[in-house]
Amino acid sequence: MNLPKIEHPLIQIEVPSLKKKYTFRPFLVKEEKLLLMAKESENEYDIFIALKQVVTNCSLDPSLNIDKLAIFDLEYLFIKLRAFSVDNKINVGYRDNEDNKNYNFKVNLDEIKIIYPEKIDNNIKLTENAGLIMKYPSASLYSDKEFLQLEKEHLFELIIKCIDKIYDGEELYEAKDFSKQQLSDFLENLSVKVFEDVHKFLSTSPKMEYVIDYENDFGNKRKIVLSSLNDFFTWR
């Protein structure tokens, strides 16, 4: 005798950077166990691994490569899956640093949006005819233990991983065809101004946003901007 096979509702979620919808199933008990085990480990690396694994498990479209998504895509998909699978409302609490009182709010996960900077240019010019083509940090970093455990030079290592192409006139070089040391040597010989432009590109990456407006005990209007997974969920 076989136990009945349970059918689950499906959902179409648009991947922000791709502007295309893909099919997902909801979290199941096995995904909740992954998240619980990661939380109990109190290890940030385990939490990142679990988040990516949950989204990967729930994706039903073979053409969607989770590792190649930008991190903001991955986090957005996780939020939307959490809303669909468990509850689209979560409670968050914050202490107001003016009146020193705690305030509790109910956040609607369905209202979270991806905010894009006004000007995005991933083409970082080195000279008139040469430059770097950058890409946003990818979801593959969520399972890159070596990177996540770095104690220093996080920015430099991140930049290496976010170089997509290098061009010089008509010549185009794929960063993936070069070793980490070759790319590191290349970056170390850039001008400070160019390095700052690269940093600016990464620091203005698209991000999730949910704004809470409230009035504190002093009658002053206050605003809280939630923009990361840690803002929405307490993992520890």
Render each residue's pLDDT in the chain as its tens digit; 236 residues: 788 888 889 999 999 999 999 999 999 999 999 998 988 887 878 888 999 999 999 999 999 999 999 999 999 999 999 999 999 999 999 999 999 999 999 999 999 999 998 877 899 999 999 999 999 999 999 888 888 777 777 889 999 999 999 999 999 999 999 999 999 999 999 999 999 999 999 988 899 999 999 999 999 999 999 998 888 876 54
Which helix (H) or strand (E) segment holds residue 29: the answer is helix 29-41
The pTM score is 0.89
Which residues span the domain enclosing 131? 123-203
Q: Does the residue 2 lie in any domain? A: no
Among 220, 233, 226, 212, CA closest to 105: 212
Q: Does the residue 138 lie in any domain? A: yes
Residues 94 and 158 in one domain: no
**What total of structural domains would you count in the chain?**
2
Supply 92's token pair.
Answer: 């968050």
Q: Does the residue 194 lie in any domain? A: yes
Residues 100 and 212 in one domain: yes
Q: Does the residue 178 lie in any domain? A: yes
Residues 19 and 105 in one domain: yes
Q: Does the residue 118 lie in any domain? A: no
Sign of torsion over alpha carbons 54, 55, 57, 58: positive
Residues 71 and 153 in one domain: no
